[in-house]
Structure formats: C-alpha cells, structure tokens
Structure 1
Amino acid sequence: MLQFMKGSENYGEVKISSLLPTFTIVQSGRHEFVSKENPDPIDIELAEQGLRLAREAIFSGRYDMVILDEINVALDFGLIDLERIIEIIKNKPPELDLILTGRYAPLELYELADLVSEIRDVKHHYYKGVKAREGIEY
C-alpha cells in the first residue's frame, strides 16, 4: 500500500500493518493537511515521489495487489496528473489487482475500473464537534 497525502503513524492501517507479515505500507506525504487551493511545493514533490514508488511496485512483478490509498484525493488536489494514472492503469500487468482509494475519483477512472464503490457520510459525530477518537477513527 502506498499512502498519498499521509505521513503519520497514527492511521489504523499503519498500526495494524505490523500484524500482517506480507503487507507493506509506504507513506508519501506530511503529517500536516494539504491546502487544496494552494498546495505547498513539498506536497507536490511527495506525491510525485509516491507515484514513482507506486509505478515501481506495480511493474516490478513482486506483488499481486497494490493499493494506492487516497490517490483520488491527490488527483483532486492537483498533486498528480490524471493522464499519468490512466497510463499506469492501462499498462499494468493483467494479473495485478490495482486498488485506488479516496473521495472525488475522476469520472475518467470509472470507465477503466472493474469495480467502483462509494462510501458516504449520512451522519457523523464530527459535524457536532466530536473529535476523532483513538480506537474508532484512528
């Protein structure tokens, strides 16, 4: 799993990964939030670095699955060019399962995908001012 826009050990998937011996997570982001309107140059650089690492993993022949966590958000924030992702999807090894996660997936990716699912907030305690809780949200 390559995580875009994440750079903290406080994510549940990072914490649990030590229990999964064949599962590797690489983070490509900072701990700070990224400004959609004005991303810091380091955020763009880290996303580019993440994309290079993802590309290496996808075409290495070492994995049967690669997860690009929050890549759709990185696309929406303009940190990565959509055409580069489309090229990767079209040329990936056929035996590799490639999973793209995150909100705001561009419609162009729907056509290339074998499966598209969506999770949406119907009600969330965050909107009432309740902060994220350890063991629940992270």
Structure 2
Amino acid sequence: MTKGLVMVYTGNGKGKTTAALGLALRAVGHGKKVLMIQFMKGDKNYGEIKAVERYLPGFKIIQSGLDTFVDKNNPSKEDIYLAQEGYNIALKEIKSAKYDMIILDEVNVAVEYNLLSLDQIIDLIKEKPDNLDLVLTGRYAPYKVIDIADMVSEIKEIKHHYSKGIKAKEGVEF
C-alpha cells in the first residue's frame, strides 16, 4: 500500500483547478478512481464536467454550489447550505474508501468565505485513509492546512488576460 498524500494548490494565479485536474487525469490513466467535489461551482458548462462524462468513467465530479458568484461579505443561505452539503459528501466519500484520490476544489475559498469552518477541513484531512490522495485547491489556503499538507504549490499571478479586458474563455477558464 502506498501512502496517500495531502496536496494543496493555492495562490492568486490561474491554474489551481487545472493542476488538480492534471493529477486526476494521471491517476485515472493508472486505473485509479477519482472524485472531485467542486465547492462554490454549479455550472454544468465547465469543460471538465463534459470531458469526464464523455471520456473518463473512473472519474466523477460533483458540484456543490450555485452557478453564480458568492458574495464574500454576504453569502446566501443557499451558498452556505450547498457548501455544507459538499462537506457532508466529502466526509462520507473519504470514509468510504471507494476512491484513490479525492479533490476538494475551491475548498480553501469556501473556508475564507465562511461557508465552511477550518475545523471541518482539518476533520476531513484527519479522516483520510492512509492510502487516499487528498487534494485541496483554492486561494487563501489556511496556514493549518499548509502545515499538515505533504505538498503545497503556490500559483502566483504574473500577468492575466482579464487585465486586458479579455473575458473568460471557454476551454481556458471553464
């Protein structure tokens, strides 16, 4: 049995979810089962949703959010409810030992926006079976999570096309 890792992709640059999707692709290529829970996301038009449904039977994505942005200073009751629902799914699936890798996409942002507590995330990490790879993405990774993690990559923005007024592009941002 190989030791499972806790891996974190954080920072203000673009590519945290994309990096986690790359890990998932590698894992599926080796016959592993992968689950991604997308916090604060609820739009089925994301390219990864379409690709997983069409081509990757060993990979499952569950969205646990609305298809609108969350107001950090005033999250809706539904935003909070959906994040908590995602947490409950994550806890159940982590304990189930059905997956080799579980990705908690944007979970760090969900904590920063007070949709989830830091204690909940620490509990998820503690519940992780020894052989499970657990990946946490999103800006604002809490220091406690960084301390616990086996691997942390900070993705730093140097330049982004948004600053030129270029809008979100299908196949790049979603």
Q: TM-score, normalised by structure 2?
A: 0.77
| Secondary structure at 1:47 match in 2 | helix
Question: Aligned partner of 2:170: which letter?
Answer: E
Report the Cα distance in structure 2 between the residues aligned to 1:137 and 1:26, rounded to whole angstroms: 18
Which protein is richer in strand relative to its size?
Answer: 2
Question: Where do 5+ consecutive residues of structure 1 fail to align?
Answer: none
How far off is 1:91 after superposition? Answer: 2.7
Partner of 1:42: 78
Partner of 1:17: 52
Question: Where do 5+ consecutive residues of structure 2 fail to align?
Answer: 1-35
Flag the 1:136–1:91 CA change in 2: closer, same or farther, 3 A: closer
User: Are 1:26 and 2:56 an aligned pair?
Assistant: no
Partner of 1:5: 40
| Secondary structure at 2:154 match in 1 | coil
Question: Aligned partner of 1:118: which letter?
Answer: E
Q: Deviations over 1:5-52 (max 9, x none)?
A: 000012222122121111000000000100001100110000000000
Report the Cα distance in structure 1 between the residues aligned to 2:156 and 2:48, rounded to whole angstroms: 20
Instruction: Choose which of 61, 65, 79 in structure 1 pairs with 2:101.
Output: 65
By relative contact order (CA 8 Å, sep 6+), the higher-ranking structure is 2
- Equivalenced residue count is 138
Q: TM-score, normalised by structure 1?
A: 0.96
How many percent identity over aligned positions?
55
